[in-house]
Amino acid sequence: MKIRSYQGMTPQLGNAVFVDPTAVVLGDVSLGDDCSVWPLVVIRGDMHRIRIGARTSVQDGSVLHITHAGPYNPEGFPLIIGNDVTIGHQAMLHGCTIGDRVLVGMGTMVMDGAVVESDVVIGAGSLVPPGKTLESNFLYVGRPVKKVRPLTEKELSFFTYTAANYVGLKDKHLSEDYANTQ
Protein backbone atom coordinates (compact mmCIF):
# COMPACT_ATOMS: atom_id res chain seq x y z
CA MET A 1 0.00 0.00 0.00
CA LYS A 2 1.51 3.35 -0.99
CA ILE A 3 -0.61 5.77 1.12
CA ARG A 4 -0.65 4.79 4.79
CA SER A 5 -2.21 6.21 7.91
CA TYR A 6 -0.20 6.24 11.11
CA GLN A 7 -1.47 7.02 14.62
CA GLY A 8 -4.66 8.47 13.16
CA MET A 9 -2.83 10.71 10.67
CA THR A 10 -3.55 10.12 6.98
CA PRO A 11 -1.57 11.82 4.20
CA GLN A 12 -3.48 14.61 2.47
CA LEU A 13 -3.13 14.84 -1.30
CA GLY A 14 -3.89 17.95 -3.33
CA ASN A 15 -5.47 17.90 -6.78
CA ALA A 16 -3.90 15.79 -9.53
CA VAL A 17 -1.11 14.35 -7.34
CA PHE A 18 0.79 11.34 -8.67
CA VAL A 19 2.27 8.82 -6.23
CA ASP A 20 3.94 5.87 -7.90
CA PRO A 21 2.65 2.51 -6.63
CA THR A 22 6.15 1.60 -5.39
CA ALA A 23 6.46 4.74 -3.25
CA VAL A 24 5.36 4.98 0.40
CA VAL A 25 3.75 8.10 1.87
CA LEU A 26 2.70 7.79 5.50
CA GLY A 27 1.53 9.78 8.49
CA ASP A 28 1.25 13.55 8.84
CA VAL A 29 2.06 14.44 5.23
CA SER A 30 0.49 17.00 2.92
CA LEU A 31 1.26 17.07 -0.82
CA GLY A 32 0.23 20.19 -2.76
CA ASP A 33 -1.54 20.25 -6.11
CA ASP A 34 0.27 18.68 -9.07
CA CYS A 35 3.03 17.05 -6.99
CA SER A 36 4.72 13.93 -8.26
CA VAL A 37 6.28 11.19 -6.16
CA TRP A 38 8.28 8.76 -8.27
CA PRO A 39 9.30 5.09 -7.85
CA LEU A 40 10.78 3.89 -4.55
CA VAL A 41 10.40 7.21 -2.72
CA VAL A 42 9.71 7.18 1.02
CA ILE A 43 7.97 10.17 2.62
CA ARG A 44 7.62 9.32 6.31
CA GLY A 45 5.73 11.75 8.55
CA ASP A 46 5.49 9.44 11.54
CA MET A 47 6.91 11.62 14.34
CA HIS A 48 6.45 15.15 12.94
CA ARG A 49 4.78 16.82 9.97
CA ILE A 50 5.85 16.99 6.34
CA ARG A 51 4.44 19.71 4.08
CA ILE A 52 5.22 19.78 0.36
CA GLY A 53 4.05 22.61 -1.88
CA ALA A 54 2.49 22.59 -5.34
CA ARG A 55 4.24 21.29 -8.45
CA THR A 56 7.06 19.73 -6.47
CA SER A 57 8.65 16.57 -7.86
CA VAL A 58 10.30 13.97 -5.65
CA GLN A 59 12.50 11.77 -7.82
CA ASP A 60 13.20 8.05 -7.66
CA GLY A 61 14.70 6.60 -4.50
CA SER A 62 14.56 9.77 -2.41
CA VAL A 63 13.94 9.63 1.34
CA LEU A 64 12.06 12.44 3.12
CA HIS A 65 11.81 12.32 6.91
CA ILE A 66 11.63 14.55 9.99
CA THR A 67 13.48 15.13 13.25
CA HIS A 68 11.41 14.02 16.21
CA ALA A 69 10.95 16.11 19.35
CA GLY A 70 12.97 14.82 22.28
CA PRO A 71 15.28 15.80 25.11
CA TYR A 72 18.02 16.99 22.76
CA ASN A 73 15.68 18.89 20.46
CA PRO A 74 12.44 19.76 22.31
CA GLU A 75 10.56 21.02 19.24
CA GLY A 76 12.00 18.63 16.66
CA PHE A 77 12.13 19.73 13.03
CA PRO A 78 9.31 19.20 10.54
CA LEU A 79 10.15 18.85 6.86
CA ILE A 80 8.82 21.82 4.90
CA ILE A 81 9.24 22.01 1.11
CA GLY A 82 7.95 24.87 -1.04
CA ASN A 83 6.45 25.16 -4.51
CA ASP A 84 8.14 24.31 -7.82
CA VAL A 85 10.91 22.28 -6.17
CA THR A 86 12.69 19.49 -8.03
CA ILE A 87 14.24 16.91 -5.72
CA GLY A 88 16.76 14.81 -7.64
CA HIS A 89 17.09 11.03 -7.58
CA GLN A 90 18.20 9.50 -4.28
CA ALA A 91 18.20 12.76 -2.35
CA MET A 92 17.74 12.65 1.41
CA LEU A 93 15.92 15.53 3.13
CA HIS A 94 15.73 15.27 6.91
CA GLY A 95 13.95 17.78 9.15
CA CYS A 96 14.86 20.78 7.02
CA THR A 97 13.14 23.67 5.26
CA ILE A 98 13.33 24.12 1.49
CA GLY A 99 11.96 27.31 -0.09
CA ASP A 100 10.28 27.77 -3.47
CA ARG A 101 11.97 27.14 -6.82
CA VAL A 102 14.85 25.00 -5.59
CA LEU A 103 16.75 22.27 -7.40
CA VAL A 104 18.10 19.63 -5.01
CA GLY A 105 20.69 17.69 -7.01
CA MET A 106 20.82 13.90 -7.24
CA GLY A 107 22.25 12.20 -4.17
CA THR A 108 22.19 15.38 -2.09
CA MET A 109 21.63 15.27 1.67
CA VAL A 110 20.01 18.19 3.52
CA MET A 111 20.16 17.69 7.27
CA ASP A 112 18.25 18.65 10.40
CA GLY A 113 17.41 22.32 10.88
CA ALA A 114 19.01 23.42 7.60
CA VAL A 115 17.21 26.16 5.68
CA VAL A 116 17.43 26.45 1.91
CA GLU A 117 15.96 29.78 0.84
CA SER A 118 14.06 30.17 -2.45
CA ASP A 119 15.79 30.17 -5.85
CA VAL A 120 18.75 27.93 -4.99
CA VAL A 121 20.54 25.16 -6.87
CA ILE A 122 22.29 22.50 -4.78
CA GLY A 123 24.69 20.48 -6.92
CA ALA A 124 24.52 16.69 -7.13
CA GLY A 125 26.11 14.79 -4.25
CA SER A 126 26.21 17.77 -1.92
CA LEU A 127 25.80 17.74 1.86
CA VAL A 128 24.01 20.59 3.62
CA PRO A 129 25.03 20.25 7.30
CA PRO A 130 22.61 20.61 10.21
CA GLY A 131 21.51 24.18 10.88
CA LYS A 132 23.13 25.69 7.78
CA THR A 133 21.28 28.35 5.75
CA LEU A 134 21.68 28.58 1.97
CA GLU A 135 21.02 32.08 0.67
CA SER A 136 18.70 32.77 -2.29
CA ASN A 137 19.99 33.12 -5.85
CA PHE A 138 23.17 31.04 -5.50
CA LEU A 139 24.63 27.72 -6.62
CA TYR A 140 26.00 25.55 -3.81
CA VAL A 141 28.12 22.42 -4.22
CA GLY A 142 30.31 20.13 -2.13
CA ARG A 143 30.42 18.04 1.04
CA PRO A 144 29.84 20.24 2.98
CA VAL A 145 28.28 22.73 0.57
CA LYS A 146 29.99 25.98 -0.28
CA LYS A 147 28.50 28.97 -2.08
CA VAL A 148 29.99 28.87 -5.59
CA ARG A 149 28.43 31.73 -7.56
CA PRO A 150 25.23 33.65 -8.24
CA LEU A 151 22.67 31.97 -10.46
CA THR A 152 22.25 33.21 -14.02
CA GLU A 153 18.92 34.43 -15.40
CA LYS A 154 18.74 31.24 -17.48
CA GLU A 155 19.21 29.10 -14.37
CA LEU A 156 16.57 31.08 -12.49
CA SER A 157 14.05 30.47 -15.30
CA PHE A 158 14.81 26.73 -15.20
CA PHE A 159 12.97 26.20 -11.87
CA THR A 160 9.49 26.78 -13.27
CA TYR A 161 10.36 25.07 -16.56
CA THR A 162 11.42 21.83 -14.87
CA ALA A 163 8.45 21.94 -12.47
CA ALA A 164 6.06 22.30 -15.43
CA ASN A 165 7.86 19.50 -17.27
CA TYR A 166 7.26 17.11 -14.37
CA VAL A 167 3.63 18.22 -14.05
CA GLY A 168 3.17 17.19 -17.68
CA LEU A 169 4.94 13.87 -17.15
CA LYS A 170 2.94 12.98 -14.03
CA ASP A 171 -0.27 13.81 -15.93
CA LYS A 172 0.70 11.20 -18.51
CA HIS A 173 1.33 8.68 -15.73
CA LEU A 174 -2.01 9.52 -14.09
CA SER A 175 -3.76 8.67 -17.36
CA GLU A 176 -2.48 5.07 -17.03
CA ASP A 177 -4.73 2.73 -15.05
CA TYR A 178 -1.96 1.36 -12.80
CA ALA A 179 -1.22 4.84 -11.42
CA ASN A 180 -4.69 5.08 -9.91
CA THR A 181 -4.44 1.96 -7.73
CA GLN A 182 -3.39 2.12 -4.11
Residues 114, 123: Cα–Cα separation, whole Å? 16
Reported as a single tens digit per residue, the pLDDT across 155-180 is 999 999 999 999 999 999 999 865 44
Residue 114 lies in a domain: yes
Cα 139–145–147 angle (5° rounding)? 40
139 domain-assigned: yes
pTM for the model stands at: 0.95
Q: What is the pLDDT of residues 98-135, one digit of tens each?
A: 999 999 999 999 999 999 999 999 999 999 999 999 99
Q: Is residue 182 domain-resident?
A: no
Report the domain count for the chain: 1
- The whole domain housing 100 covers 3-176
Q: Which helix (H) or strand (E) holds 63?
A: strand 63-65
In CATH, what number is assigned to the domain containing residue 10?
Answer: 2.160.10.10
